[in-house]
Amino acid sequence: MIKFEHSVFALPFALTGGLLAWRDAGFFRQGVWLKFGWIVVAMVAARSTAMAFNRVLDADIDGRNPRTRMRHLPAGLLSRGFAWGFIAFWSMIFLFAARELNPLCFVLAPVALAVVMSYSATKRFTSLSHLILGFSLGIAPAAAWIAMRGSLDVRILWLTAAVTLWTAGFDIIYSCQDYEFDLEAGLFSIPRRFGIAGALWISRALHASMLACLLMLVRSFGLGGLAWAGIAAVAGILLWEHKLVWPADLSRVDAAFFTMNGYVSVIFLVFWASDIFFR
């Protein structure tokens, strides 16, 4: 029902936010690895909760969609009771991790859960659901900053904006597969509103805007050559991603969605962590 590897999308950006906060605080040593450990636990727990909630809320829709009808709930491989228990378990893990990090994290934890779970309902009433999903992942680096520092620095919001735009862009590509089903089911999406060709252009614009946000982030924190190289690497991967998908050929959407975007987040972390540690 939940693929663990889906956490790879937002987790590297969260860790980058935590590393930037650590650098900004002078690389303090006491308890730092424990903090990073709890950030990872919180990220996995939030992702598991959000995805399971999405599967429960969309079970009936998934059962009518040829692409998703074999998912565990519509196929009867798992029960709704199990799914709700799964959601409750990981929600408690998330709240516990937030409490272990600092008081502000614990206070904001219910808000974070509400944000990451809210996306599931939005495609029923707005074509901006892709951006709402993006924001659900985009809060990760800001949350990691709060976890490390106990407060928020507005500079990290450039990374929140970048992840939001990146996620929205690749979710638009992914949703092109469901263009005809969304029309039939009355669901809202960018492809349904603007057509597949128009949606792909919007995705490209969002990814270009993501790169602009990353450039602002580099300038805000005064990072060096490796961070700039990381942005160049991300730009190259995104360019290749968009070459994989065309309005008349959506056969490589999965490669564009899962493989390319997994590379984006991991390679970004490698370059930026290297800049933070070795500059």
User: pTM of the full predicted structure?
Assistant: 0.96
State yes or no: pLDDT of 263 exceeds 80. Answer: yes
pLDDT single digits (tens) 167-177: 999 999 999 99
Residues 199/172, Cβ–Cβ less than 8 Å: yes
pLDDT of res. 124 = 95
pLDDT of res. 51 = 94
Q: Which of 161, 119, 110 is nearest to 139 (CA)?
A: 161
Residue 156 DSSP label = G
State yes or no: pLDDT of 262 exceeds 90. Answer: no
- Would you state the structure tokens that stand for residue 138, as one six-digit string? 């985009």
Nearest 10 degrees: CA dihedral of 91, 130, 144, 99? -20
Q: What share of the chain is helix, strand, coil (3-state, %, to 5)?
A: 80, 0, 20
pLDDT band at 69 (very low <50, low <70, confident <90, very high): very high
**What integer is the mean pLDDT of 142-163?**
98
pLDDT of res. 5 = 62
pLDDT band at 56 (very low <50, low <70, confident <90, very high): very high
pLDDT of res. 4 = 66
pLDDT single digits (tens) 27-52: 999 999 999 999 999 999 999 999 99
State yes or no: pLDDT of 96 exceeds 70. Answer: yes
**What integer is the mean pLDDT of 109-129?**
96
State yes or no: pLDDT of 229 exceeds 70. Answer: yes
User: How far is Cα 19 from Cα 203, in angstroms, rounded to an integer?
Assistant: 29
What are the chain's domains?
Answer: 4-273 (1.10.357.140)
What rounded mean pLDDT belongs to the chain? 95
Cα–Cα separations (whole angstroms), residue 80 to 30, 60, 73, 84: 43, 11, 7, 6
pLDDT of res. 9 = 84
Residue at 118: amino acid letter? S
